[in-house]
């Protein structure tokens, strides 16, 4: 199996086992390329009182996508880390009336390599990720978030 597909499948199983809310959301990790990750969730378990996607589900999906992108990127470099989300800016542009589809990517090239170097040198570091939930004509929601990584002892 392609190493990216395999990494995404392992991550999905780990998330569903260790993060009960992701399991309640029925989260899937259908795509990972090394530079980008996609996570999806059906509407039914993520609906709100108005019949569209609950803001908390969107925030959760976007946060998981960003975290997963960093987690898999560092694993590929042989770095086992604890990764925490830091300050985040969430913009909701339009409601989502169907499946939630979120993608995360690094804000610029080279940030993963820089984080890996910082982890090897100082045992910690951070980088910024941008995550979007697909909408009808534009992103339905956007998250810009900083993630902090710390090398596991």
List interacting residues with a second copy (CB under 8 A): 14-15, 18-22, 24-25, 44-50, 54-57, 59-61, 63-64, 67, 82, 84-92, 95
Nearer Cβ to a second copy, position 91 or 117? 91
Nearer Cβ to a second copy, position 6 or 89? 89
**From CA 117, how far away is CA 21, in angstroms rounded?**
33
Nearer Cβ to a second copy, position 80 or 113? 80
Nearer Cβ to a second copy, position 76 or 95? 95
Eight-class DSSP state of 80: -
In the complex, the smallest distance separating the C-beta of residue 15 from a second copy, rounded to whole angstroms, is 8
In the complex, the smallest distance separating the C-beta of residue 109 from a second copy, rounded to whole angstroms, is 25
């Amino acid at each position: 199996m392609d190493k990216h597909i395999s990494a995404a499948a392992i991550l999905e199983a780990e998330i569903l086992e260790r993060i009960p809310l992701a399991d309640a959301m029925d989260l899937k990790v259908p795509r990972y390329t090394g530079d980008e990750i996609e996570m999806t969730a059906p509407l039914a378990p993520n609906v709100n009182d108005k019949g569209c996607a609950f803001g908390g589900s969107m925030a959760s999906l976007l946060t998981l996508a960003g975290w997963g992108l960093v987690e898999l990127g560092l694993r590929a470099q042989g770095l086992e880390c604890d990764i925490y989300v830091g300050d985040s800016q969430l913009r909701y542009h339009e409601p989502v009336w169907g499946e939630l589809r979120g993608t995360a990517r690094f804000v610029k090239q080279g940030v993963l390599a820089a984080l890996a170097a910082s982890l090897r040198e100082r045992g910690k570091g951070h980088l910024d990720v941008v995550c979007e939930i697909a909408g009808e004509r534009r992103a339905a929601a956007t998250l810009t978030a900083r993630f902090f990584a710390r090398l596991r002892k």
